[in-house]
Chains A and B, each alone.
Chain A
């Protein structure tokens, strides 16, 4: 039983499931946030109402706990497997050209993941924490004015840059991650494996562009 939890295959299954859940969440989160790009008057009221609805809903609350757990488990697994890999490698090669045989993103998932993680810390602190525990003014409908909080944050070019870098890192993480996760879970049919790889590419590009345009358009509009 112990070996079952310690084993690389089961750990990668967990990593794949949590990663795919996070990827799925990214779609929903993006669709919700695209409301920020509506005409200003409408965007403010609609977005705040939407946030209010989410924070009050018990189902959403449960899903959000799953989400936190996924981020935590995914990260813990990354650390565990990273240590395991270091141990398995033993003595370093003095001359190492192994990289010619694989893609850059597949070798740098940890680096990309760390960027995503740092982004998440900042993202949670600035919006999630503020919304839940901060002193946020109310809009005319009596909902917390998250919209203005977001728009003000995106007034800063450095902040836009930080977000852009993080989304690009996320994009590369997903280009490898989506296909890899399906392999980890056991998709061995050559046709579907290829299909998932192609889907992963388009998915990653769509997610990256979708998230990128929000802060950039808001910055330009204000």
Chain B
């Protein structure tokens, strides 16, 4: 396959970025999208040009590092798929593909396709944990939990923190991410003790990072690699209201 690429090149956060044209001739349809970019980078290195920088780690759809906008859609044309799990068979010979970084005020561009998503990490650090002493793994049966509850918590915990929800949102809202993290701990017995504090602090941190509000367009769930449900957002709203209205400080 022959693929024409328009790739966003930006030296650092302060410089201005723009699209640059590249052509990759020998693309195999079974290559992943990232392998196609590797092929391009190999060529660029040989030519003495600076390779295109992009984030990646596991390349098996579980780490959440690899998000980019492909033809204006987070993680490209397939729904509920990460960029590393997108293969070139989803494109046709001779296609022109636009590749851009995720763009949001809370995700400053580091270089080219790489953005700084530590704002999501700071939301987690503000409350996405349970305060227990670590040590030996405790006896598994000492905290009873039903199968259904465990599964529901897993569904929320499946979020890999890739930031596609923010990138797909017309308001650059992190509501799906934060909602999933809050729901995940809310559903588990271990999470109960700090539930009010958690929701208040995570929501506050989400505000401070400069994310937008949620308009309930539900685009986030469609593009989310893990198909995290938008109802997690409603749950966050519910828990937040409960903690503000019903809990005595």
Q: Which residues of B contact A4 (CB under 8 A)?
A: 244
Closest to A189 in B: B231
- Whole-angstrom distance between the alpha carbons of A93 and B71 in the complex? 10
Cβ-defined partner of A89 (8 Å) among B98, B104, B234: B104
Inter-subunit contact A95/B173 (CB<8 Å): no
Closest to B233 in A: A183
Inter-subunit contact B233/A93 (CB<8 Å): no
- Whole-angstrom distance between the alpha carbons of A68 and B19 in the complex? 49
Inter-subunit contact A91/B212 (CB<8 Å): no
CB contacts under 8 Å to B, within A152-202, are 176, 179-180, 182-190, 193
Inter-subunit contact B207/A3 (CB<8 Å): yes
Inter-subunit contact A180/B168 (CB<8 Å): no
Q: Which residues of B contact A89 (CB under 8 A)?
A: 103-105, 170-172, 212
Cβ-defined partner of B219 (8 Å) among A10, A91, A98, A182: A98
CB contacts under 8 Å to A, within B196-249, are 203-204, 207, 210-219, 222-223, 229-242, 244
Q: Which residues of A contact B167 (CB under 8 A)?
A: 98
Residues of A in contact, count (CB < 8 Å): 45
Inter-subunit contact B237/A9 (CB<8 Å): yes
**B157 contacts the other chain (CB 8 A):** no
- Whole-angstrom distance between the alpha carbons of A97 and B213 in the complex? 20
**B191 contacts the other chain (CB 8 A):** no
- Whole-angstrom distance between the alpha carbons of A197 and B170 in the complex? 21
Q: Which residues of A contact B73 (CB under 8 A)?
A: 97-98, 100-101
Per-position 1/0 for B49-93, Cβ under 8 A of A: 000000000000000000001011110000100000000000000
Closest to B238 in A: A186
Q: A102-B218, A186-B237 are in contact. Are A94 and B19 (CB under 8 A)?
A: yes
**B8 contacts the other chain (CB 8 A):** yes
Inter-subunit contact A97/B237 (CB<8 Å): no
Q: A3-B207, A81-B213, A87-B210 are in contact. Are A188 and B219 (CB under 8 A)?
A: no
